Amino acid sequence: MVVPDALRAFAITLVVLNHLFLIAHPVLGRPIRLGFLGIWGVNMFFVLSGFLLGREFVRALLGTRPFPKIDRFLTRRFLRIYPLYFVAVLVSVVLVDAFLHHVSTRVILEHIFLLEGADAQAIFDLNIPLWTMGIDAAFYLALPLIMGAVFLATRGRSQFTKACALWCTLAVFGIAAIGARFLGVSRHPQTLQNFAETIVFVRTPLGMSVAFVLGIAIATLVEVLPRDRIPQLGYASLAGSGAIIGLIELQLRLENSAITPGLGSSLRITIIDPLAAFSAALVLFGLFQGRFAVVARIASSRAIVAFASLAYAIYLFHYPILEILFARLLHDNSKLSTFAELTALCVLVVLPVAWIASRFVEQPFLAIKDRMRGNARASYESVSPVA
């Protein structure tokens, strides 16, 4: 599964790069904003989760393997994400409270119980990227229930019927997600100007489910569509189309930098995440099914593999560290030199912290998770940095 691992590494790079620009605010003629990179990267994480975890259930639905035991699935998910997440919360509390500002007990508890995404104040008070973790947890709970319902409803049917039933179910959730996003913007116009409010009312578990839906849909295509049905050029075109759609998402994000109330602005906020997710899904499907030799060589390189293995730890720990480094050592924003210094500090500080956290917290729990499975980690059960 070298392509998903490489895409994971690429996505985490985009997220961190976005946060470097967000904190340093470099100016080159005008302020440089790269928020679209973060949006695309986060949606790629969710698409990867839908693809890699959903594929296990898709195979069960199509009759190629037994349906996963829900208790074991949820236990493995807990071991995969929560121990390192819990440590990241504790470390963030210590660092932020010591170097930036006081962290209230309420904010700490909301983060421990994965509820920070429902409180606009909590999102900013500790470690901003952690808002995605509650969405991942909701997906883990919903996935076996939804797939189980489709499994029971289509028992005894043909594979084609089962696949169609699953796609119809996914389409319903996708449409509901887009509708919920539009209603969230319409009823809470402050989401047009406030990032935290957007998370609370628009980028909810339902509002972000388009990315998971697309990941599961891609997993279904991989299982039912023979790879040689489409030539390599076709897969390359799909991946290229995904990149072009990503550029369209960029333009929408740039326009949102000066957003004003109105139907057009509401529609842009509504579709910007689904558009990024669709872009990410096309890139994933095209590169995964195309099996391009050059992509495989890059994805399997030692540097990419090592970086991808640290992706989850980097995601959890980088933001408060960057905030503290900037506040304590750099201070001056708007300069490209300050951005370059913060980037260098990110490499020198965040990577070692991520390695330590991964080595002494993440990996021991992954070993327990793998032993529960009874064999080595399944090749398709890798997980995204926010999964």
pLDDT in tens, 256-306: 554 566 777 788 889 999 999 999 999 999 999 998 999 899 999 999 999
Residue 31 pLDDT: 62
From CA 197, how far away is CA 290, in angstroms rounded? 40
The average confidence (pLDDT) of the chain is: 89
Least confident of 8-17, 246-255, 328-337: 246-255
pLDDT in tens, 157-171: 998 899 999 999 999
Query: Which whole number is the average pLDDT over 114-125?
Result: 92
Residue 259 pLDDT: 59
Query: Which whole number is the average pLDDT over 24-42?
Result: 78
Among candidates 86, 78, 136, which has minimal Cα distance to 316?
86
- Terminal Cα distance for the chain, rounded: 16
Residue 379 has pLDDT above 50, yes or no: no
Sign of the Cα torsion 147, 152, 158, 162 reads negative
In this prediction the pTM is 0.92
Residue 378 has pLDDT above 60, yes or no: no
From CA 192, how far away is CA 257, in angstroms rounded? 10
At 28 the three-state DSSP class reads strand
The two three-digit tokens of residue 351, written as one number: 């990577």
- Token pair 């503290």 is found at 324
Query: Which whole number is the average pLDDT over 89-117?
Result: 96
Banded model confidence at residue 359, pLDDT cuts 50, 70, 90: very high
From CA 106, how far away is CA 249, in angstroms rounded? 36
Query: Which whole number is the average pLDDT over 240-258?
Result: 73
Residue 251 has pLDDT above 90, yes or no: no
Instruction: Report the share of the chain in percent with pLDDT over 70.
Output: 90
CB-side exposure of 50: number of CA atoms within 13 Å? 31
The two three-digit tokens of residue 217, written as one number: 């849909």
CB of 19 closer than 8 Å to CB of 38: yes
Residue 340 has pLDDT above 70, yes or no: yes
Residue 381 has pLDDT above 70, yes or no: no
CB atoms within 10 A of CB 203: 25
CB-side exposure of 238: number of CA atoms within 13 Å? 20
From CA 342, how far away is CA 18, in angstroms rounded? 12
Point out which residues pair with 30 in neighbouring strands: 28
Residue 229 pLDDT: 83
Strands 30-31 and 27-28: antiparallel
Query: Which whole number is the average pLDDT over 103-112?
Result: 96
From CA 342, how far away is CA 25, in angstroms rounded? 11
Residue 100 has pLDDT above 90, yes or no: yes
Residue 375 has pLDDT above 60, yes or no: no
Among candidates 206, 240, 184, 212, which has minimal Cα distance to 51?
212
Label residue 323 exposed, middle or buried (CB < 10 Å: 0-12, 13-18, 19+): buried
Banded model confidence at residue 118, pLDDT cuts 50, 70, 90: very high
pLDDT in tens, 211-239: 999 999 999 999 998 888 888 889 899 89
- Token pair 């980028």 is found at 203
| DSSP structure string for 134-197 | HHHHHHHHHHHHHHHHHHHHTTTS-HHHHHHHHHHHHHHHHHHHHHHHHHHHHH-GGGGT-HHH
The two three-digit tokens of residue 266, written as one number: 């509401």
Residue 344 has pLDDT above 60, yes or no: yes
- Token pair 């930098």 is found at 257
Residue 64 pLDDT: 82
Sign of the Cα torsion 281, 287, 291, 295 reads negative
From CA 48, how far away is CA 385, in angstroms rounded? 9
CB of 267 closer than 8 Å to CB of 182: yes
Sign of the Cα torsion 235, 62, 149, 144 reads negative
From CA 212, how far away is CA 224, in angstroms rounded? 19
